[in-house]
């Protein structure tokens, strides 16, 4: 049974969104720790709730900028009607079959 295109595109777009968000969060934590160690008197005491919210918002904006074009451009692709994922019983490998409209 074919999987609708919207579900496939949504699945890998959300995968890219959450993966890039995780990577960006880890980078932001690393930069924050680096700044705290490098400038302990200036940066360490200046941590405020507003700055934390701005950093989190920045990470999600960057993640949406990475995953957004993937979703939009994939939805414009009119050649693929559906993607069928099949598992053959005799072969232990996953085959993805593209059905062209």
> pLDDT value at position 60?
95
Token pair recorded at residue 13: 């777009």
Is the whole model's pTM more than 0.75, yes or no?
no
More confident residue, 86 or 35: 35
Residue 85 has pLDDT above 50, yes or no: no
8-64 per-position pLDDT tens digit: 888 888 999 999 999 999 999 999 999 889 988 887 776 788 888 999 999 999 999
Find tokens 């009607």 and name the residue: 81
Find tokens 């993937």 and name the residue: 70
């Amino acid at each position: 049974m074919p999987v609708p295109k919207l579900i496939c595109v949504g699945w890998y777009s959300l995968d890219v969104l959450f993966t890039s968000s995780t990577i960006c969060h880890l980078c932001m934590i690393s930069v924050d720790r680096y700044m705290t160690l490098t400038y302990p008197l200036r940066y360490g005491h200046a941590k405020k709730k507003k700055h934390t919210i701005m950093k989190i918002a920045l990470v999600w904006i960057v993640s949406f900028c990475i995953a957004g074009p993937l979703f939009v451009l994939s939805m414009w692709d009119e050649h693929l009607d559906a993607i069928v994922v099949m598992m053959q019983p005799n072969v232990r490998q996953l085959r993805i079959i593209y059905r062209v409209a």
